[in-house]
Structure 1
Amino acid sequence: MQTNKITRKNPTNMPKPVGHYTHITKIPRNADLFVTSGQIGIDSNGQIPECMNEQISNTFTNIRSVLASEQLEATTIIKVNIWATEKIDWDYMYSEWGQLFGHDYPAMTVGYLSELGLPEIKVEIEIWAASV
């Protein structure tokens, strides 16, 4: 059955997600695909704060801005890749996550690395979106 909307599913034959994500997202045929560069915690003045949670907050602001530039909303996000150089405060991350997604979660991957593009960057989030 073909639908003209993005659908998300957690198959019943799999363990439930261990976080705020969905196991599989289906994109309908003829949807426009958008892939962002990794968004970082830089603020509007070009400054990268030292604090990881401030970087997370700025990163979500930047995600909203890049989505708005193409008239996209959080519901169009199909995949999120999160890269971090230090332990993520998941309570804080999920508070920002919840403000963006509510309970309609995209697929997600998280990776910890020793370094990102600049030494002061502690978190980078890449977004994949589809417009139907």
Structure 2
Amino acid sequence: MATVKQSYLFFCVRIFPNKEFKVWVWVCMFLVFGYWLGSMPQIFLICSPFEMNWNPSVPSGHCASYNVAFTTIDCVNMVTELVIMLLPIPFIQPAADGHRDVNRPLNHLPYWPLVCLVNPPFPIAT
């Protein structure tokens, strides 16, 4: 997911000429990279010894809660998606109308459940 977000953010840097917007995009890139950098060790080091990740019969090994780990990762993922989704709204809206309306970006919040449907915060059991 982080590479898809980074790709979208690089695309935004290229198409938007506004310097302030580009600064915010680079801040988002840093946050997404930090999120990815923090979640990778959490995924790989959840079990001790490391072999227990693929062999649960290792004696005297233990794993942390997968549900807690992946729920934490998914919640941070949803926050970064929300930030990225709302990022261009204040910069696009004034250009479309010719004036700035403070309440207008809030009109797009009903689309947030669609983002949650595409990327659910909890694994869906099948």
Larger Rg computed on CA atoms? 2
Q: Which has the higher contact order (CA 8 A, sep 6+)?
A: 1
TM surpasses 0.5: no
* TM value normalised by structure 2: 0.24
